[in-house]
Structure 1
Amino acid sequence: MQDLAGHDMPKKSPIFDGFAFLWGLLFGLCIASTPVMACPASCHCIEKSGMTVVQCMSRNLEKIPSDLPRDTVVLLLASNHITHIPNHAFKELHYLQEVDLSNNEIETMDVGAFQGVSDSLLVLDLSNNRIQSVPKEAFARLRAKISLSNNPWHCECTLQEVLRELRLDPETVNEVICHTAVKEEYAGKPVIQVLDSGINFCNFHHKTTDVAMFVTMFGWFTMVIAYVIYYVRHNQEDARRHLEYLKSLPSSSQISKDFDTISTVL
């Protein structure tokens, strides 16, 4: 075989060709076995403007997928049957900026539900779920714009303290309604309207706690008084019986007379 200049080219050895073939085969297998992006089977992943959008809407999911791509920026989980947000639900998703969990059946969330994404998350939609209350630390250090509308909120002290630290979506803030409340008169009213009127749910909480403590103390005091009364009456009864027993005994003068009579006879 000659090159383009007409010179003879050295022949390749069969051993060299074998090594080259094996190397190429191994390299190809490595590339084939390394996925560009691992996407959950129930979702659809899209690369858009350099961002990974994971679309899992209306897939009958009952929980948040655990095998999400690490480069996920937008996660769409709306219109499923998710009931709970566990601790570290979005662990290792360090680029996550938006999460849509609206129109699910979420009732509860753990304290560490959003740990690991508090710095990156910009938008969080939890509207149209079944959330009545949340742990006080669940949204700790979260800077995202949050939608909590159309949930059956129970308005009390903890919820007030949670909302005080959040950046609520201004377009839906009036749809965060007190479904129930520590005072029935506030049920059915927007939470923000109640709080802006100067109502402090924590005062009701303290008053309720004070009343409960007073009732407990009164109960203990009543028990102590009842025991003292029982103890005194029981001792009085014993004293009366002892006194009657002593009265039933012959007197010392009578015993002396009987002793003198016996001595005279003898």
Structure 2
Amino acid sequence: MDFSLTELVRILVVSMLTSFTCTAACPSVCKCFSNGEVKCTGDTITDTPQQLPVHTYTLQLIGTNMHVISERSLEKKDLMTRFSLIFSHLHTVHPHAFHATPQLRSLQLSSNDISALDARVFSPLTALEELYLNMNQLESIDPDQFEGLVALQDLDLSYNKLSSVPSGAFRGLVKLESLNMGNNYFKTLSPTTFRSLRKLKTLSIYRNQLERLESGMFDSLVNLEYLQIFSNKIATIPPGVFWSLRNLKNLTLSSNQLQTVPDRSFYNMPKLFKLTLYKNPLLSLPEELMGHMPEMSEFYLYATNLITVPGNLFANMSGLEALNLHFNDKLSELPPDLFCCLPNLQKLSLKSNNLQQLHPQHFSRLSKLDKLLLNNNTLKNLPKNTFRELGQLTMLDLKTNQLQNLPEDIFKSNTFLEVALSDNPWDCTCSIRGFARWIRHNKHAVLDSEDVMCHSPQYQILRTLDSLHDEELNNCNVTTVTPTCTLTEEPTQESSKTTPEADSSHQLQPNVKLDETSSIDDVSLPFHDIFVIEQELDFVHHNYHSGWVYVWFLPSTTVLAAFLMFSHIFLVAIGIFLILCAIYGMHLLSKRVKEIKAQFVHF
């Protein structure tokens, strides 16, 4: 579009005048913006400012001392379409307060002290699209409370003290798309409460006192996409109560009192992508529970009382990407084919259950699995081929189980794997040789290698698995030596000499008694079992190196212990004394500096 020079000058002049007018008319407690928004804050405000820019489209009053919206508070604001009065302890709205602003499209009275409203206070607002009454003290709603709001799309009643909704309270709200009734005191809702809300897309009834859902209460909500019913006291669900919700995408039923769920409760919801059932005291689930849900990507089933689950529970969830089946402390068994039909699963959490064993084929079809959490269970062993088909697995958590050993090649197929293995009772005898070798060769893949320690036998306690060497475990099957006598330290003339090695370690040779089948070669073998030191020394640590066992210890004599304690206290006392001397010296120095300064000033 072409403009002449005259037209450009006229537009520029008008813009400058408008900007000057807006700035000049802006009250000192407000900020006025060029887009027609005015924001006023402060407890000096007791009513809506009367002197506002001509082109004020949005007025926000925050943290004011305005307790009443009077009949004249909104006069002379013919262009205002959005009005907010929040955090102001508002408690009264005049029945005719909005007669002067029928053009309002958004009204926010959140975070105030409103306990009651006139029956038809909002009726003049036929153009209103958003009404926020959340975080007030409302205890009741009049049957005609929302009469006339034919354009309303968003209604927020959350965080009030409502315990009931009159029958037909929402009639006439034919364009309503979002209704939030969360954090109130509803115990029951009539089957007809939502009957007229056919365009509703989001319904929130979370954190109430609901004990049950009524049959047919959702039948009219054919366009509903989000239904939040978590944190109530719902103990029963009527059969088919959700069947009309064919467009539902998100259903949260967590933190209720469900012990059972009717057959086919979640049928006819093909668009569902998120379902939560966690924190319910579920005892069992029916064989037929889930309908066809190809778009389901997240499923949460944890903190229940389930002992097991149906084998076909996830059969209709081919699009599932994240499955959280954890924190079920009674879940001890999983059907072999439970994860058979989840080709897109990337994260599987089975942590903090009571799983004692896994079937070799449990994960055989999870070719895209990236993260597997099995920590905090009671797994005692794992089949050799448990992870064979998980070629894309990058994270495996096996911490805090009852594992004593694992096959050496159990992770042979997992090229990119990082694994956590600590807090297991690893048995560092002959059978651990192969797995210890794998850890030594794949330290980069063990996230907590420094904490993967031997639990048995006693002489290996506190050793890490990656410190075990093959030569230590090569002779575990030798049976010709019978160590029936006490193994003692044999001092020799050479060993009595003072050397660096003699000061820090002792080389021990076992005295053994040979049976009839023993040979002299057996005597030269380094021992690998319990030894006894008769001097009753405090054992500290031992290492195996080049056929020798090095033992570090401290004498446990009362005199030495007392000497060390006295030395420690003496050194601490000296340190404190030196610190005090330094502080006193700094004080004297500072005092002297001040005296010198005073002399110069006087001079």
TM more than 0.5: yes
Match of 1:204 among 456, 475, 478: 475
Match of 1:35 among 285, 293, 301: 293
Aligned residues: 178
CA distance in 2, matches of 1:70, 1:110: 22
Q: Does the CA-based 8 Å contact 2:295-2:320 persist in structure 1? A: no
Within-5 A mapping of 1:12-27: none
Higher relative contact order (CA 8 A, sep 6+): 1
Change (3 A) 1:145 1:64: farther
CA distance in 2, matches of 1:129, 1:115: 20
Within-5 A mapping of 1:232-243: none
Within-5 A mapping of 1:20-169: 34-36=292-294, 43=301, 52-59=321-328, 60-64=330-334, 66-68=337-339, 69-117=342-390, 119-143=391-415, 144-166=417-439, 167-168=442-443, 169=445
SS at match of 1:109: coil
Q: Does the CA-based 8 Å contact 2:360-2:385 persist in structure 1? A: yes
CA distance in 2, matches of 1:38, 1:210: 63
SS at match of 2:321: strand
Within-5 A mapping of 1:216-255: 218=517
Q: Does the CA-based 8 Å contact 1:156-1:201 persist in structure 2? A: no
CA distance in 2, matches of 1:201, 1:83: 31
> TM-score if structure 2 supplies the norm length?
0.26
Change (3 A) 1:94 1:217: farther
Structure 2, unmatched stretches of 5+, are: 1-266, 271-290, 303-313, 483-513, 519-603
CA distance in 2, matches of 1:108, 1:76: 19
Higher gyration radius (CA): 1
- What residue number does 1:172 align with? 448
SS at match of 1:75: strand
Q: Does the CA-based 8 Å contact 2:418-2:447 persist in structure 1? A: no
- What residue number does 2:277 align with? none
CA shift, 1:87, in A, is 0.8
CA shift, 1:136, in A, is 3.6
SS at match of 1:165: helix
CA distance in 1, matches of 2:460, 2:395: 29
CA shift, 1:204, in A, is 3.1
CA shift, 1:180, in A, is 0.6
- What residue number does 1:187 align with? 461
CA shift, 1:157, in A, is 3.6
CA distance in 1, matches of 2:452, 2:368: 29
Q: Does the CA-based 8 Å contact 2:380-2:403 persist in structure 1? A: yes
**Amino acid corresponding to residue 126 of structure 1 in structure 2:** L
CA distance in 1, matches of 2:515, 2:412: 35
CA distance in 1, matches of 2:515, 2:295: 61
Structure 1, unmatched stretches of 5+, are: 1-28, 220-266
CA distance in 2, matches of 1:58, 1:136: 30
CA distance in 1, matches of 2:480, 2:350: 44
CA distance in 2, matches of 1:67, 1:177: 33
CA distance in 1, matches of 2:297, 2:320: 14
Deviations 1:14-59 (A, max 9, x none): xxxxxxxxxxxxxxx99956421578987379xxxx9811111202
SS at match of 2:331: coil
Between 1:93-102 and 1:151-160, the stretch displaced more is 151-160
Q: Does the CA-based 8 Å contact 2:298-2:321 persist in structure 1? A: no
- What residue number does 2:168 align with? none
CA shift, 1:191, in A, is 2.1
> TM-score if structure 1 supplies the norm length?
0.56
Change (3 A) 1:137 1:64: farther
**Amino acid corresponding to residue 453 of structure 2 in structure 1:** I
Deviations 1:100-152 (A, max 9, x none): 100111112112211211x2111111000111112344333333111110100
User: Which one has the bigger helix percentage?
Assistant: 1
SS at match of 1:138: coil
CA distance in 1, matches of 2:515, 2:300: 54
